[in-house]
Amino acid sequence: MVAEARQDVSKADEPGSLAVAVEKIIVHEKWNSYYVINDIALVKLAEEVQETDTIRAACLPAAGKVLPNDYPCYVTGWGSMRTNGPLADILQQALLPVVDYETCSSWDWWGSNVRSTMVCAGGDGVVAGCGGDSGGPLNCQRDDGIWEVEGIASFVSSRGCNMKRKPTVFTRVSAYIDWINEKMSTN
C-alpha cells in the first residue's frame, strides 16, 4: 500500500508501542472462505488497553449504516507494500474513498463477488490495501469528528493490489452489529 508511515513494528519498545495478550478469538460461525462471506471475527484482549496520545479507540457504526460514494476513509496495515512486494515494517495508512455498492457490484467492477454486507474503497489503480492487510480496519471520521471502524479488510484482486476498478473490499461492520453485540454479551 502506498501510504504514510506510522509505527515501526520492528521496534516493540518504541514509545507508544503496546503488546497485549489475546484471551479469545471469536470467528463468525457462518464464515465461508471460498465465497468470502461473513468474513469477521472478534478478538477479546486479556486486559483493558488504556488510551494514550498514540492509542485511541474507534467506535462502531450504527447498525445498517451505509456510507455514500466517495466518502473519505483510511485503511491501515502492515501488508505488502505492492503486489508481490515485501511486507511493511512500518504501519501504513492510505486514503481510500468509498465506492458505493451500485458501482462496486456492477459488471465492470467486482460484479456479483461483492455483496451488500461488504464495503468497497479505492479502485483508482494507485492506492489500495494489499495482501497482509486483511483483518485491518477501514476507519472513517463522522461529521462530528468521531472515528468509526466501518470496514474490515477482506480481499483485493488476485491480479494485483491496486487494480483500476477493483477496489479493496471490506466486510461492512454495520451489517454485523447485532452479531457483535451478541458475541460481546456472551463472551
Q: What is the mean pLDDT of residues 4-13?
A: 52
Residue 16 lies in a domain: no
- In this prediction, residue 92 carries a pLDDT of 94
Tally the domains of the chain: 1
Residue 1 lies in a domain: no
CATH at 83? 2.40.10.10
Cell 504501519 belongs to residue: 91
pLDDT(97) > 50: yes
Residue 133 lies in a domain: yes
Residue 121 lies in a domain: yes
Which amino acid is located at 44 in the chain?
K
Structure confidence at residue 63 as a pLDDT band (50, 70, 90): very high
| Spatial separation of the C-alpha atoms in residues 48 and 36, rounded to whole Å | 31
Between 50-64, 101-115, 118-132, the lowest mean confidence (pLDDT) is in 50-64
pLDDT(118) > 90: yes
Residue 17 lies in a domain: no
Residue 71 lies in a domain: yes
Residue 127 lies in a domain: yes
Residue 105 lies in a domain: yes
- In this prediction, residue 161 carries a pLDDT of 92
* Model confidence pLDDT, tens digit, residues 137-168: 999 999 999 999 999 999 999 999 989 999 99
User: What range defines the domain where residue 96 resides?
Assistant: 58-175
What does pTM read for this prediction? 0.91
* Nearest Cα residue to 54 out of 12, 9, 7, 86: 7
Give the CA radius of gyration of the chain: 16
pLDDT(47) > 60: yes
Q: What is the mean pLDDT of residues 88-94?
A: 93
% of residues, the chain, pLDDT over 70: 91
Which amino acid is located at 79 in the chain?
G
| Spatial separation of the C-alpha atoms in residues 42 and 100, rounded to whole Å | 26
- The more confidently predicted of residues 95 and 4 is 95
